Amino acid sequence: MGAGVYSDNFNGTGSTFIVDCVLDREEGLEEFNAQREEDGQEPFTAQEHDELCSQDEWMDLKDALLEAGASVGLTPDRESWERGFMKLCSDEYFSLGIRSWEIDDIVGVWQGDDYECNDSGELYNAVEIACESMIDPQVVANLRSKMAGALIEIARIIVQESGRDCSFKTSGYTSARYPLLAEAELESGLADLQAIYKKGRDLLSRSPAQALREEGVDNYRKVMSIYCEENGVSKSSIGYVSTGYPEVLWGKPADDLSINEFDGDISLALSSIGVTPEGAQGDVSPLPETPEVMKACIEATASYLERNKEPFFCAPLAFWQKALSITDEPLLAAHLLPNVGDPDPDDAGPGF
């Protein structure tokens, strides 16, 4: 029955399309040989002409794919084989390549092995992505999926515009052709796809600190939970308010919950986040989880990350509990916190 119709989604990180074989090459043979005879050359047989046409079509297809890649900033590679494809061009996130299958050619877009997904579309190395990028891994997966879809569509449209028919798999042994875009839709359609790819790359190429600042509170909670689960909760601190201090006190989320003043570059001034210690129960009370407080905590973590290349998450108690799914209220109750006493200017410092 033959080898069937080829397709591959590269473990959920890319896709392919078929470039249909040109079946009727004999139509131009007579004219081709007439020109050769006029030039004093021997005529080609049908097989020789077919082989020559096949080579030209292969080169034209490669040129169309290189044009597609260049339109979104992919750079040409020395031709090498990867994932069963001849890789033509790539950037930090995707590769674009080609392979033969039966009498057809297959164009593929894929990501590196580090970004393979399971059947549910979840990244295998979610922890690594969260820790390195400070972005929710599912957001990264969604961005990359959109980029892959945009790149394969750009490649297909440009290949079709070069005069080749393209198809997609409909079953193990059947396929259907993609329609051509109308002339009026072609330019805007390509521009929209290129914008999707470039926007995704811009978002993924942000520094970890910039990503933290721009992605907001939900992202902060997700990344904090993944990072602290992987590296231990000692990489985070809980904010408290005391009537005797003008700044937030940071408590290590450990059994003893010792309270210390943190580095002045990270500690938050109560006046700057709209918080007062009035009404505190006893010496200290948990920092409230308000938008102003969370914005300041994200900025504190981002600033620390820029200086130390490793995050240290600052958060109110309620936020920390939700992020890490901690419900042990007796352990975390404010009344178990030690007596802070009067502030001692000579005793300020990281304390961790």
Q: What's residue 198's pLDDT?
A: 97
Q: Across-strand partners of 236? A: 313
- 53 contacts: CB under 8 Å, gap ≥ 6: 22, 25, 28
Taking the C-alpha atoms of residue 141 and residue 121, their distance in angstroms, rounded to an integer, is 7
Q: How many angstroms separate the CA atoms of 21 and 29, rounded? A: 17
pLDDT at position 190 over 80: yes
Contact 147, 203 (CB under 8 A): no
What's the pLDDT score for residue 334?
43
Bridge partners of residue 176, in order along the sequence: 168
Per-residue pLDDT at 343 exceeds 60: no
**CB neighbourhood size of 114 (10 A):** 11
Mean pLDDT of 51-60: 77
What residues have CB less than 8 Å from 274, skipping those under 6 apart? 290, 292, 293
Q: How confident is the model at residue 4 (pLDDT cuts 50, 70, 90)?
A: confident
CB distance 12 to 119 below 8 Å: yes
pLDDT of residue 192: 96
88-135, pLDDT tens digit by residue? Answer: 999 999 999 999 998 899 999 999 766 777 666 667 788 999 999 999
Could you tell me what percent of the chain has a pLDDT over 90?
45
pLDDT higher than threshold 60 for residue 297: yes
Compute the average pLDDT of residues 26-53. 65
Task: Give the model's pLDDT for residue 235.
Answer: 84
Distance, in Å, from the CA atom of 217 to the CA atom of 143, rounded to the nearest integer, reads 19
What pLDDT, on the 0 to 100 scale, is given for residue 161?
Answer: 94
Confidence class for position 36, pLDDT limits 50, 70, 90: low
Q: Rounded to whole angstroms, how far apart are CA atoms 296 and 287?
A: 12
- For position 250, what pLDDT does the model report? 82
Nearest-angstrom CA–CA distance, 301 and 268: 11
Average of per-residue pLDDT values in the chain: 82
Residue 178 pLDDT exceeds 90:
yes
Highest mean pLDDT among 52-56, 207-211, 270-274, 325-329: 207-211
Half-sphere exposure in the Cβ direction for 8 (13 Å, CA): 17
The torsion region of residue 57 among left (phi > 0), alpha (psi -120 to 50) and beta comes to: alpha
Task: Specify the pLDDT at position 330.
Answer: 44
CA distance 81 to 241: 60
**pLDDT score, position 258:** 54
Q: Are 290 and 274 in contact (CB under 8 A)?
A: yes
pLDDT at 285: 81
pLDDT at residue number 14 = 92
Please state the three-class secondary structure of 7-19 as a single string: CCCCCCCCEEEEE
Calculate mean pLDDT across residues 37-42.
70
Question: Please, which residues have CB within 8 angstroms of residue 137's CB and are 6 or more apart in sequence?
Answer: 122, 123, 126, 127, 129, 130, 226
Give residue 265's pLDDT.
Answer: 64
- Extract the tokens encoding 95: 């590769």
Positive or negative, the Cα torsion across 72, 73, 74, 78? positive
pLDDT digits (tens, 9 = 90+) for 208-263: 999 999 999 999 999 999 999 888 887 888 888 888 778 888 877 764 455 555 55
Band the pLDDT of 13: cuts 50, 70, 90: confident
| Residue 196: both structure tokens together | 């999707």
Is pLDDT at 41 greater than 90 in this prediction? no
